[in-house]
A = this chain, B = another copy of it.
Amino acid sequence: MVTLAEVARHAGVSASTVSYVLSGKRSISSATRLRVERSIQDLGYHPNAGARALASSKSNIIALMMPLRTDMYVPVMMEIAVAVATTARTHGYDVLLLTGEEGASAVRRVTGSGMADAMILMDVELDDVRLPLLRESGQPAVLIGLPAETVGLTCVDLDFVATGALCAEHLAGLGHRDIAVIGEAPAVYERHTGFAERTLEGLRTRARELDLRLLHRPSDGGYDALAATLARIFDERPGTTGFVVQNESAVEPLLALLRRQGRAVPEDVSVVAVCPDPVAVQASVRLTSVAIPAQEMGRRAVEHVVAKLDGHGTDGIELLAPELTVRASTGPAPA
């Protein structure tokens, strides 16, 4: 293994000079810089991560904690993770992947060992068990998702309240009066993950203002569960002409069932989805939807973390503005 000392000897300079050439933390005459850089090339030198971490108390690693509930929509998690990893690299950081298994104790392990300089927590619940430990650890951290108590925390999330409002507005604008909301699986609500409830809040508030009638029904994914949910909805509100779906695994079943019932989309009923764009585009009817900006969330989370590590920290909540894309699943309410 090639060490910094060897590079120094080879270049005829001191160790610190090599170190400073690498870090750029002090000015070096271009002559020596060149010699050092050549030596680095010639010898194939790579700084040792452990030694660096020890000497500088910086690991250049960001820990990413992703809980793994079976009811989460996986591709979104994945997209966020990938965005985090690639964005982190552009800032010189690597990403340590922590899964849910360890839960809160992973926070201790990572912060305690100095294994990572900061953490990003995904899928944060309203009352997340990891938060107390996180706070007391004092580690720079950014949450993706919004807990109940955000004082002193930095969070990034889609503005789900605005998302709900946007859906309501779109349907109202098309003349729909009776709207059914097909929400996430009941388990999601029981866990108080927050985003489902916030969408609903936005939907309700705006619906009231726009004089819409709203019926909310959580639903598991899959055909059978959805068939039952749909039957209930039309039973209670036969005049329903607008749907808002926030459950990726309910999208296709919903479309299939409507079709089977002879209800044409968008002629008879309109459907707005809250889902990743690929899902909306690949569906059997191209869906009008509010996208989940997974990449953007991952990117912003990293940028906040890096800002903190660089000193110009910015506590607070960043809510990404929702964007509704009109596709083929919404149209004027039937007369």
List A residues at the B interface (Cβ < 8 Å).
1, 44, 46-54, 57, 59, 61, 64, 66, 68, 74-75, 77-79, 81-82, 85-86, 89, 94-99, 101-102, 108-109, 112-115, 221-223, 249, 252-253, 256, 281-282, 284
Copies of this chain per assembly: 2
Chain B residues with CB under 8 A of A112: 44, 46
* Min CB–CB distance A107 → chain B (angstroms): 12
Chain B residues with CB under 8 A of A99: 82, 85-86, 89
Chain B residue at minimal CB-CB distance from A73: B75
- Whether B68 pairs with A223 at a CB distance below 8 angstroms is no
* Min CB–CB distance A104 → chain B (angstroms): 14
Chain B residues with CB under 8 A of A95: 96-97
* Min CB–CB distance A255 → chain B (angstroms): 9
- Whether B284 pairs with A114 at a CB distance below 8 angstroms is no
- Whether B78 pairs with A97 at a CB distance below 8 angstroms is no
- Whether B49 pairs with A53 at a CB distance below 8 angstroms is yes
Chain B residues with CB under 8 A of A48: 54, 113-114
* Min CB–CB distance A158 → chain B (angstroms): 19
Chain B residues with CB under 8 A of A79: 74
Chain B residues with CB under 8 A of A114: 1, 48-50
Chain B residues with CB under 8 A of A49: 50, 53, 59, 113-115
Chain B residues with CB under 8 A of A222: 281-282
11 residue pairs from A and B, CB less than 8 Å apart: A47-B113, A49-B53, A49-B114, A54-B54, A61-B96, A82-B99, A85-B99, A89-B101, A95-B96, A223-B282, A223-B284
Chain B residue at minimal CB-CB distance from A47: B113
Chain B residues with CB under 8 A of A68: 82
Chain B residue at minimal CB-CB distance from A60: B115
Of B52, B75, B86, the residue contacting A101 (CB under 8 A) is B86
* Min CB–CB distance A162 → chain B (angstroms): 27
Chain B residues with CB under 8 A of A97: 64, 81, 85, 94-97
Chain B residues with CB under 8 A of A223: 282, 284
Chain B residues with CB under 8 A of A256: 256, 284
In the assembled complex, the Cα of A282 lies from the Cα of B108 at a distance in Å of 38
* Min CB–CB distance A326 → chain B (angstroms): 19
Output the residue of A78, A86, A281 with the most chain B CB within 10 A.
A78
